[in-house]
Structure 1
């Protein structure tokens, strides 16, 4: 690790032996550390692009720029959490020829099996984690598409990203491709789209109320 090694070592000393699912915390630390590195590279390229392009600097729409950068960091983190796990990185990619039988094709079977485990943590993480991790996908895609946004177009982005993750897990042997992940990720994208429309509705309603107050004063 480059940025978070000391914090991770402290966390491992406190929780490493007493927490059954500490490997998830380790995965999160590793993924955050790698994502921060690539995000800094992105910021350099983004800043250079804005400086070179005329009328792009200083940034006029700061909210959109903030959401764009947050979305890029989210994508980087998502890729490292799901594909480049453990010691896997861009420099150590190897394709693995696997039989198609390793893929879980039947919906909900593997998820239901998790309810028979020692604890329900794996079940909750697989179900709700896969949904919640893709809520930013729906919200961020809808916001950044602006007038090009439509429910189906934004939903297709979340679906294709999830499908790409499953395909990469299969090709790189860094995870078990599961149709449940695709289903739950798509549900998370839908929730994100709904959140975007709900916030947009709240803002439109507030602006309309303010316009009425202004017109009354005039």
Structure 2
């Protein structure tokens, strides 16, 4: 329905504003850093996450892991609703992962966050969890066709 499209669009814009465009209000304020070294990207799986486990405050660990998961649960729920004729588990996961990689790439190019492979992993876990919630409601709660 049209309302689900609007909710999904609002959600995508909100995620981009919270993760990537947090310090800008206008497009002309964006500054791309194409000379940034690729060594700034963490491609070692769980390297930074394990550091947070042993940090003095475990709150950072929970914020990083569960926060990234929870931010992408709505994607897993809304994507199959909006694209109901083309949705599948595989497509939802792949598109969700690509959206996460897009965010990490923008964070790297705009220097607005830390680009980390762990974020892509946790975001994809959130998409999977959201899709499972979608399936549960479709099967047990909603009497939809």
TM-score under structure 2 length normalisation: 0.92
SS at match of 1:122: helix
**1:68 corresponds to:** 5
Which of 61, 66, 75 is matched with 1:123 structurally? 61
Is 1:112 aligned to residue 73 of structure 2?
no
Which of 5, 11, 20 is matched with 1:83 structurally? 20
Which of 83, 86, 103 is matched with 1:165 structurally? 103
Distance 2:27 2:63 in 1: 27
Coordinate RMSD, CA, aligned: 1.7
- Residues 24-43 of structure 1 aligned to structure 2 (within 5 Å): none
Is 1:191 aligned to residue 137 of structure 2?
no
Q: Do 2:108 and 2:114's aligned partners in 1 also have CA atoms closer than 8 Å?
A: yes
Distance 2:32 2:25 in 1: 12
Distance 2:124 2:64 in 1: 14
Is 1:180 aligned to residue 118 of structure 2?
yes
Aligned-pair distance for 1:68?
Answer: 1.7
Q: Do 2:8 and 2:82's aligned partners in 1 also have CA atoms closer than 8 Å?
A: no
Aligned-pair distance for 1:88?
Answer: 6.1
**1:151 corresponds to:** 89
Larger Rg: 1
Distance 1:94 1:88 in 2: 12
Distance 1:183 1:120 in 2: 19
**2:32 corresponds to:** 95
Which fold has the larger relative contact order, with Cα–Cα distance below 8 Å and residues 6 or more apart in sequence? 2
Aligned-pair distance for 1:117?
Answer: 2.2
SS at match of 1:134: helix
Aligned-pair distance for 1:90?
Answer: 1.8
Aligned-pair distance for 1:87?
Answer: 3.9
Aligned residues, how many? 144
